[in-house]
Amino acid sequence: MILVDFAQRTKERGSGSWEDESEFASQEPEKRGEKVCSENSPLLDRFDIDEVSRLTRISKRRLRYWARIGLIPPSLTIEGKSYYSFQDLLSIRRAWLLLESGVPFRQMRLAVEALRTKIPGLLRPLAELRIESEGDRLVVWNERRRWEPQSGQLLLDFSLEPLLPPDDPAERRRLAYEAYLEGARLDDDPLTCDQAEAAYRRAIEIDPRFAHAYTNLGNLRFRRGAVDEAIALYHKALAVDPGQPEALHNLGFIAAEEGDHESACAYFRAALASDPSFADARFNLALSLEMLGAYEEASREWRAYLELNPQGNWAEVARRHLAHLESKK
């Protein structure tokens, strides 16, 4: 998902003591495949190892092993902490499906290493390529050609039909994810927002239950001023996934912008019930509680935010708010 930078928009609107805060300093990307960024950077989905283990039902021990050997390491670093991106999550899911289909782990690992060597710039072969198992071997599909990943040898096949029929649910999910990822690559640049919208709409058309595609499309429509359409898209995301914290948070932010802080608090609390580690929801809940005069509860939320996010410019903002509230006692 790519969240609207709600904290920054609140700052632009003006909110008292933190109106003059500077932006997070930009940081240079580090090693191959690793992206270093500030906590408020618009990113693809970011997941810590606990979330990945819960979503994929793969043990944290196995995930740490895969990261240690370089098979699928976390590709994001935020405030010194490692996170998995959405593409990493796709890679993990694909690796698990290949293992479940009977592909030996060593063969999969060697294939991934060979593909990274043979194709410069390819960071996540399992997410970026169509890799299938055929009996006891792995093959890579490129358009209608098949080739063996370690040797690079083309494989002849008299049947040029895709491995999966067009109406196969797994194939439709794959195509929807591809459209989603295309949108995510394009939606941060104002020059490619139209293409990003088209990609998200295509993902939804292919898979009408793709909740994150609704949310990201809603974020785009929000940034382009179509607030009512954004609200409708967030509600569609929640109709598919009632506990999606991003859509709940975004609805809360819009309610806060409209001055309805009671509704905003309800949305932020729902987002936190779904994901207690959602720092942005803690931050904005504390702001809305202050606006309602619920200073004691706001102080608790500022403290909870600082436990989640003790470093960085926004942590300093939270400390100033907390100190101001403490001075009222």
Q: What is the dihedral of CA 168, 172, 175, 177, to 10 degrees?
A: -130
Q: Answer yes or no: is pLDDT of 147 > 50.
A: yes
Percentage of residues of the chain with pLDDT beyond 70: 72
DSSP secondary structure string for all residues of 152-167:
--EE--S--S-SS-TT
Mean pLDDT of all residues in 179-200: 85
Q: Answer yes or no: is pLDDT of 324 > 50.
A: yes
* Neighbouring C-beta atoms of residue 273, cutoff 10 Å: 13
> Given this model, what pLDDT does residue 19 score?
27
Q: Answer yes or no: is pLDDT of 209 > 80.
A: yes
If pLDDT is split at 50, 70 and 90, which confidence band does 213 have?
A: very high
- Please state, in angstroms and as integers, the Cα–Cα distance from residue 91 to each residue in 75, 79, 127, 296, 318, following that order: 11, 24, 5, 44, 36
- 74-84 pLDDT per residue, tens: 988 888 888 88
Residue 228 tokens read as 């009512």
Give the residue carrying structure tokens 């710039």: 121
- 231-256 pLDDT per residue, tens: 999 999 999 999 899 999 999 999 99
Task: Mention every residue, 6+ apart, whose C-beta is less than 8 A from residue 106.
Answer: none
